[in-house]
Amino acid sequence: MQLRALIRKELQLLFRDIHGLALLFVMPVVFILIMSMAMKEEFDRRSGVTLDALVIDESGSAPAAAMLRDAGDSPLFTLWPAAEKLTAGAGETLYAAAEAAVAKDEYSFLLRIRPRAFESLDAQVADVVVAPGTSRETSALFMASLRRALARQRLLLMEQGIKQEFPEAADYDFLRVSGAEDDDLIDVSYGFQARAVTEAPTSVQQNVPAWLVFSMFFVVVPLANTMINERQLGTLRRIRTIPVPGWKLLAGKIIPYYFINQVQVVLMLLVGLWLVPLLGGDRLTLGQSHVGLLVISSALSVAALGFAILVAVTCRSTEQATTLGGAGNIILAALGGIMVPTYVMPEVMQSITVVSPMSWGLQGFLDIFLRGGGVAEVLPEAGSLLGLGFLGLAAALLVMRRQEL
Amino acid sequence: MSMNGHAAHQRMLIDVEGVAFSYPHASAPSLVGVTLQVPKGSCFGLLGPNGAGKTTLISLLTGLLSLQRGRIAVDGMRFPGDADAIKRMSALVPQDYAFYPALTGRENLRFFAGLYEIPAAQLPARLDQCIDICSLGPVLDKPAATYSGGIKRRLNLALGLLCSPRLLYLDEPTVGIDAQSRYFILEAIKGLKNEGMTIIYTSHYMEEVEQICDDVAIIDDGRLVLQEPIDELLLGGRDVYVTPQREPGAGLLAQLGEQLDVVWDGARLILTPPPGLPVSSVLAQLERHGVGIARLQMGGYRLEEVYLSLTRTELRS
């Protein structure tokens, strides 16, 4: 009965604190929406989202069509016939219109197959125009993809010529022998231990967990304000004259804010799943492990509450708590790859991110959303967060005991 | 213990013996060897200047602080072993508005009722009782932050009454409110006392203490300087205070001084008749000297005079 009364009171106080609610629920939604949309292009480039290339095939030949099919199979690029995407103006050629669109960075590349491309083995095949905003690395990848497709077609042409000259070689598979068709000849592994990388984060996959972690730590403001007000108003003094065990007082704070944290998790995931796509962004992918998600979000909640209660017992005024809690969160967020994604940081800064528990939480979420991880994969981060949370709570209890004397 | 001593002991609800307490890093102890007894069913005034040690003593009595030296028994139970039982029979109404301003009066009452673990079947009747005693009905569903000072004091009191305590600590329950609210609260306290509740009452308003307390203890610099029934304390004075219609001349004062102690304080004549000299003969003597009497106050000390004489008049930090 006592615990129920404490939890109900805490929730009543929070639901009447309009600023606290805005901080916990509105602020992260706004951040997710703004940052997901603002950083979409940057993330798209880095996350392997396909880049668009315009194609004008002036040869109209079967080998050219086959080469374009080959190149179009690449996960990195999408080839669009220019005639489908553009309409040339009066007196303007389609090529000129396509060149102008690429010059404006509307497309990453323009690929023109020359009219006599495959008539002889020494004929010039294609021209490529690269957009000014396209990086050298992306250009190199596009060119490698094109060269591979071209080499395959030329090999097929050579094979046809050889088989015409030498009928006894009719059963010989030049393509197979060349290795051009066989991906198994090269083993590829990625620089992540124990699990394969499925893909790099998109803007929404980075920003939803990042701002979710940030907002979960912001329980420090309403929680600390309530605790300090209780101390200043004498309410805590009155409560302590009633036989209420200390563990119930602590649980009466932790349980409602744990619940609030989990509501934040659900709400932010829904924003990533439904609201961001509605506004033109990518859809958040949740991964496979809902239990892993619960484990990491629970551990994160314990860490956030440990931090919040420690701030609450060490600060003398609500102003102090708001400043210390707010500034502390912003510093942890800046260090932890919340505000600036870790991968754009210099190497030294990247190594510093490990000091921030927000980074542990973010990596835990990304383990699940991005890397196909489950409970086992998030245990290191969850363990660290739980350890930190319990350390914060223990320190808070020590401070409270000293204050009672 | 003699039979009489045992009977007296049984009449006491609180028995404090040799209690001393020091806060960490404090330059001086807050309480030094305090010994006092509070009779059952009495209203006990605990007086003292700011910083004298009243709050520390109440904190020890309510279990907010741990006893360092001495002994405290409440209804025969001792700290720390019986702390929960002692807490269940008592309630503290602090000087602060110790409730949640964002919650309504009813929500505050329900929250504290939950902490007191009042069974659901008894809750409506208990709430109604507290609401009636403190006359909170009309404002009960408004946020407590919107209440006037008087209503906040009444809500503060109502929260203390929720658990039907046998022992109620009232820490300056009338500070900062208007005369009507103060009258209401004092009448409510008298009613509680008449029902047999033991009340520990601290206040800096001496006339309130005179009005409602049966016993009084004065603490200064952490030491108990006095504990007496208030009637006995105030009956000791036999002075007659006379406010004359005109200022008495030096000759008249000299004549009066031949028969009794007389002091002119600029506004009143303070006359102390010797034993055996009736007050009426003193008044007759004044009339014979042509001193018209504008106002007359008979005998008895004022509590404030006793208090100031015992605690000295210098300002306290």
* Contact yes or no for A150/A125 (Cβ under 8 A): yes
**H, E, C per residue of chain B:** CCHHHHHHHHHEEEEEEEEEECCCCCCCCCEEEEEEEEECCCEEEEECCCCCCHHHHHHHHCCCCCCCEEEEEECCEECCCCHHHHHHHEEEECCCCCCCCCCEHHHHHHHHHHHCCCCCCCHHHHHHHHHHHCCCHHHCCCEHHHCCHHHHHHHHHHHHHCCCCCEEEEECCCCCCCHHHHHHHHHHHHHHHHCCCEEEEECCCHHHHHHHCCEEEEEECCEEEEEEEHHHHHHCCCCEEEEECCCCCHHHHHHHHCCCEEEECCCCEEEECCCCCCHHHHHHHHHHCCCCEEEEEECCCCHHHHHHHHHCCCCCC
- Select from A241, A401, A403 the residue whose CB has the most chain B CBs within 10 Å, as the one to mutate to test that interface: A241
Amino acid code (one letter) for B313: T
Query: Cα angle at A74 between A70 and A78, to 5 degrees?
Result: 95
pLDDT band at B111 (very low <50, low <70, confident <90, very high): very high
* Residues of chain A that touch chain B, judged by Cβ-Cβ distance less than 8 Å: 1-2, 4-6, 8-9, 12-13, 16-17, 233-235, 237-244, 404-405
Chain A to chain B Cβ contacts (< 8 Å): 79
Check B99 against A17: CB less than 8 A apart: no
Q: Is A219 helix (H, G, I), strand (E, B) or coil?
A: coil
Check B114 against A238: CB less than 8 A apart: no
pLDDT at residue number B58: 94
Task: Give the C-alpha separation, A62 to A67, whole Å.
Answer: 9
Mean pLDDT of B154-169: 93
Check B94 against A234: CB less than 8 A apart: yes
Task: Decide if pLDDT at B2 tops 50.
Answer: no
pLDDT at residue number A49: 60
pLDDT at residue number A346: 79
Check A239 against B115: CB less than 8 A apart: yes
* Residues of chain B that touch chain A, judged by Cβ-Cβ distance less than 8 Å: 23-24, 62-65, 83-84, 87-88, 90-92, 94-103, 107, 110-117, 143, 159, 163
Neighbours of B108 (CB within 10 A): 25
pLDDT in tens, B216-266: 998 888 888 888 888 777 765 667 778 888 788 888 888 888 878 888 888
User: Which residues in chain B have their CB less than 8 angstroms from residue A233's CB?
Assistant: 96-101
A109 membership: H or E segment, kind and range: strand A109-113
Task: Decide if pLDDT at B316 tops 60.
Answer: no
Neighbours of B262 (CB within 10 A): 21
Neighbours of B29 (CB within 10 A): 18
pLDDT along chain A (405 residues), means of 10: 94 92 90 82 65 89 89 81 86 89 87 87 86 80 87 83 80 70 58 44 85 93 92 91 90 94 94 88 84 95 95 90 91 88 79 89 90 88 95 91 68
pLDDT at residue number A164: 83
User: Which residues in chain B have their CB less than 8 angstroms from residue A16's CB?
Assistant: 102-103, 143
- Select from A3, A7, A8, A9 the residue whose CB has the most chain B CBs within 10 Å, as the one to mutate to test that interface: A9
- Select from A11, A238, A318 the residue whose CB has the most chain B CBs within 10 Å, as the one to mutate to test that interface: A238
Beta bridge partners of B271: B240, B262
User: Which residues in chain B have their CB less than 8 angstroms from residue A240's CB?
Assistant: 63-64
HSE at residue A239, side-chain half, CA atoms within 13 A, is 27
**Is B241 or B44 the better-scoring residue by pLDDT?**
B44
Q: Convert A173-203 to b/e letters by CB count within 10 Å (16 or more is b).
A: eeeeeeebeeeeeeeeeeeeeeeeeeebbbb
User: Which residues in chain A have their CB less than 8 angstroms from residue B84's CB?
Assistant: 243
